[in-house]
Amino acid sequence: MKLLRNLWLALVLVIGLVPAAAMAGANDPLFVNLTSDDAHRVNMALGFGKNQLERGHPLTVFLNDRAVFVASQANAGKFAEQHKAIGDLAAKGATIIACPFCMKHYGIKEADLLPTIKLGHPDLTGGALFKDNTKTMTW
């Protein structure tokens, strides 16, 4: 009897809690935090973001730490595929932001940024990150 009661309680918890936690609204924004300049990880982040953008989720990609190397026009040879993806995302309405502190740390100048990338600042970055119902992923 005790086992049956415990199973019943577990079922009630699963049914009551999982759907609310697992469901996102149809238009909930997505904030992708990208910290890597590894081409595969960048492709994963941009590809995932693209798929969600196409499903109606507003997309912001925040390039920070080593990901600022991907934002630089000086690295066009190494990141040609990623630069195209960033341009395509921006053309479809995504916001791509580069961390100014990371850029300074790695010696990347604002003039080096791809034209579709915005220089981050607290209002821009925080506004996207803390917008109601925003979901966040990191690569």
Asked if residue 53 belongs to a domain, the reply is: yes
Predicted confidence (pLDDT) per residue in 41-88, tens digit? 999 999 999 999 999 999 999 999 999 999 999 999 999 999 999 999
Question: 10 lies in a domain?
Answer: no
Residue 4 lies in a domain: no
Per-residue confidence (pLDDT) for residue 26, from 0 to 100: 86
pTM beyond cutoff 0.95: no
pLDDT digits (tens, 9 = 90+) for 1-35: 566 565 555 555 555 554 444 467 889 999 999 99
Q: State which residues form the domain around 59.
A: 26-138
Sheet strand arrangement including 95-98: 117-119, 95-98, 59-63, 30-34, 135-138
User: 102 with 65: CB under 8 angstroms?
Assistant: yes
Distance CA 35, CA 42 (A): 9
Could you give the number of structural domains in the chain? 1
Give me the CATH number covering residue 53: 3.40.1260.10
Q: What is the pLDDT of residue 20?
A: 46
